[in-house]
Chain A
Amino acid sequence: MPTDPGIPKRRQVGRILQLVVVSLAVVLLVLVVLATDRNPRTDDASVRANLIEIAPEVSGRLAELPVKDNTFVKQGSLLFVIDPRDYEYALRQALSDQDNLEQRISDARRKIAAQNSAVGAARAAVLNTTTGVKTAGSGIAVAQATVSRAKAATIAAEARWRYAQNDLHRLEPLLTKQYVTIDQVDLARTAVDTARSAYDESLAALSEAQAQETQAKLRQQSASDQATQSEALLGQALHVVDTLDILMSMRPSLAAKVDRARLDLERCRVVAPFDAYVTNMNISEGAYAKPGSPMFTLIDSRNWYVIANYREGKIKNIRIGDPVDLYLMGHPDRKFRGKVESVGFGVLPEDGKVVGGLPDVDRTLNWVHLSTRFPVRIRVEDPDPELFRIGATAVTVVR
């Protein structure tokens, strides 16, 4: 068999080719494994954003509904208006109640001023009657003095009368012996009569003075009764004076009612709490809004997240703050930047069920265990508001 000179050379080239191909394959395979280990990637990721369900705080029919489904709303722009008439009326009622109270307070103030004047009058009456009592007291003293004088006058008149009698009795026996004239006896008799009448008169004057004294005493009694009465009246007037306490204590309550009515009226206009997308809106004007029951959903467009589920073996290479390359499957040619914000601390374990008070453990002969995956929250740093949608499929590569 002729030896072909090309054979050893070809054999040599074949050897080199084999060696190069096999070793390069091993090297590249190792590189690929290292790359996927150092930069863990997953296509089990989806876009998320915070969302709130917009629920009104007051009830009523929707009067205006300027937003539409799947539109963007700026922070503070009007979402819907609930028919405000009920709340306007309630506010008016509360304001009128407040006004009414103020009127009642000023009315009560006037009344209190009048009652205070009455108290002053009663006080003056008390002073007046006290003076009356004193006057009556001095009247008694006068009357007593009069009585004393009358008594003294009576005694004097009686003495004069007795003297006149004695004089007459002395003169009468002398008449028979004619020592005295008849005229003298008559004169003496007249003197007796005169003295007698003077005595009677002074007795009458005494009686009158005594009666006057009694009258003065009664007058004093009456004056002191009047004083007592006027004091009682003063006490009554003092107690009758109204106070503003009750009306004043109603002020804060009514003010709170006004504030409440105003707040309810403000709550008829519902505005967007942040820049957001409207979604899940299936209502029109006239829908009945109930407090706490959601009307539609707002997606917070300020922050977008991607939740990527990574196998537990890859978690060790993911640190908080690591940069992440993000791709949306709807736009595979666009790369977005993200940052690892947090790594989930729990998923629902497969075992751990408790049945009948005892842990339910399966009988198993598993040699191959599938690794658990934990959600990693990645914040998107340059989201494109046109492309990001909650639930969109994403692919993430942690760098």
Chain B
Amino acid sequence: MMVRRKQVIILAPCTLCIGCSRAPSISVVGSFFPVWMLCLLIGTVLTFVARILLVRSRLETEVGPLALFYPSLLTLCACLLWLIFFR
């Protein structure tokens, strides 16, 4: 378990560096949307999931001002997705 965690910790920055070779635009019904919109959308979904988890574990009240925490979480998720897949 510890070994796997270590591997993940080591490999995570590597995935950041490698990125993925896919066009940084997405075609939706004949229009091309920039990928950061997609990242933002998925980030929002992930943030909602995180909020549900935080509420379940009764941690939401402990993470400081929510107006700072959730936008930060959203930014984190979106940037992470962008860096991994579309850099």
Q: Which residues of A are interface residues toward B (Cβ below 8 A)?
A: 10-11, 13-15, 17-18, 21-22, 24-26, 28-29, 31-32, 35, 39, 41, 43, 325, 327-329, 332-333, 335, 393, 395, 397
Contact = CB atoms under 8 A, between A and B. Distances in A.
A14 B62 contact: yes
Nearest to B62: A14
A31 B27 CA distance: 26
A325 B21 contact: yes
A324 to B, nearest CB: 13
A333 B62 contact: no
B69 interface: yes
B52 interface: no
A114 B1 CA distance: 122
Contact of A11 (B62, B68, B73): B62
B72 A14 contact: no
A332 B27 contact: yes
A27 B24 CA distance: 22
Interface in B14-73: 16, 21-27, 32, 34, 58-59, 61-64, 68-69, 72-73
11 contacts: A14-B61, A15-B62, A15-B64, A25-B79, A32-B83, A35-B87, A43-B24, A325-B21, A329-B23, A332-B22, A332-B26
Interface of B: 16, 21-27, 32, 34, 58-59, 61-64, 68-69, 72-73, 75-76, 79-80, 82-83, 87
Looking at B23, B32, B69, the one whose CB has the most chain A CB atoms below 10 A away is B23
Given A35-B87, A43-B34, 5 more contacts: A13-B62, A18-B69, A28-B76, A329-B25, A332-B25
Contacts of B72: 21-22, 25-26
A28 B83 contact: yes
B75 A25 contact: yes
Nearest to A19: B64
A9 to B, nearest CB: 10
Contacts of A17: 59, 62-63
A26 B23 CA distance: 26
A26 B79 CA distance: 10
Chain A contact residues: over half helix, strand or loop, or mixed?
A: helix
A144 B83 CA distance: 142
Nearest to B32: A329
Contact of A31 (B26, B68, B73, B83): B83
Nearest to A328: B23
Contact of A32 (B63, B73, B79): B79
Nearest to B57: A10
Contacts of B68: 18, 22
A324 B58 CA distance: 49
A189 B63 CA distance: 199
B75 A10 contact: no
Contacts of A39: 87
Contact of B24 (A32, A41, A393): A41
A18 B63 contact: yes
B48 to A, nearest CB: 15
Nearest to B60: A14
A220 to B, nearest CB: 120
A13 B60 CA distance: 11
Given A329-B32, A332-B27, A10 B76 contact: no
B24 A21 contact: no
Contacts of B59: 10, 13-14, 17
Contacts of A29: 75, 79
Contacts of A11: 62
Centre residue among A11, A21, A325, A332 by max chain B CB count within 10 A: A21
Given A15-B62, A21-B69, A22-B69, A395 B23 contact: yes
B29 to A, nearest CB: 13
A395 B76 contact: no
A333 B22 contact: yes
Contact of A395 (B24, B75, B82): B24
Contact of A21 (B22, B58, B73, B83): B73
Q: Which of B26, B69, B72 has the most CB of A within 10 A?
A: B72
A397 to B, nearest CB: 7
Given A14-B59, A18-B63, A18-B64, A332 B23 contact: yes
